[in-house]
Amino acid sequence: MCIVDILLLSLVWFRPSLPLFKLICLCAVGCFAAVFLGLGNFVFVSHGLAWHGSGFLIGIGLILILRNKKSISRVCLSILSFAAAVVILIFSVIALFIEPAAIEILHYKYKTDLITKPIRIAFLADFQTDNIGNYERRTLNLLKNQNADLIILGGDYIQARNKEMEKNLIDKFNLLLKEVNLQAKFGVYAIKGNQEEGCWYD
């Protein structure tokens, strides 16, 4: 990606009169390069778009100012590039570092004549993780501390890129489940999601 960045930024540097439309197309090429080079690894794609994208926009903005000081349209475009880079950085930090570590417990109440006594049901699904660690442990412990009468795990626990990684994640997740030792009055039940096709959980 760095090579792609250097080539595209060099083109802009040595062609200061490049039409705005072509500049925009170059930015799009930079984004597609980040996606293409990270294909098959969504974490890599996300970080590529975040840091590569914002860095590329900052580079474009600097070049436009340094090489086209007298062009109002280029100065405006450079300011727009800086602003877009800042927005990308803000959302990237939120999406990559804040949201993945945030845990929110939602409570819903339903009434039915079919049940005469209150039942507390805890439901958890979609870890979609490629790294079993403290976040998953913390989440399962929070689930355990809800003192639910019934616990349901709804699938899609892992995200694996190959069979070896899949087996490693399954082993780690099973160990974590045994460590946390979820218990409930009416039992703990788990199903597979589409991410676990072909997987087997103990």
DSSP string computed for the chain: -HHHHHHHHHHHHH-TT--HHHHHHHHHHHHHHHHHHTTT-HHHHHHIIIIIHHHHHHHHHHHHHHH-TT-HHHHHHHHHHHHHHHHHHHHHHIIIIIGGG-----------TT-SS---EEEE----BSS-SHHHHHHHHHHHTT--SEEEE-S--B--SSHHHHHHHHHHHHHHHHHHT---TT-EEE---GGGTT----
For the cut 90, the answer to whether the pLDDT of residue 37 exceeds it is no
Task: Judge whether residue 105 has pLDDT over 50.
Answer: yes
Mean per-residue pLDDT, 2-16: 65
Sign of the torsion angle spanned by Cα atoms 60, 96, 127, 121:
negative
| Structure confidence by residue, pLDDT tens digits, 10-30 | 666 666 566 655 666 666 666
Give per-residue pLDDT as tens, 144-181: 999 999 999 998 888 887 888 888 998 999 999 999 99
pLDDT at residue 38, as a whole number: 54
Please give the Cα distance from 13 to 141 (Å, whole number).
54
* Averaged pLDDT for residues 188-196: 83
Q: What value does the mean pLDDT of the chain take?
A: 79
Instruction: Dump pLDDT digits (tens) for 124-143.
Output: 988 888 889 899 999 999 99
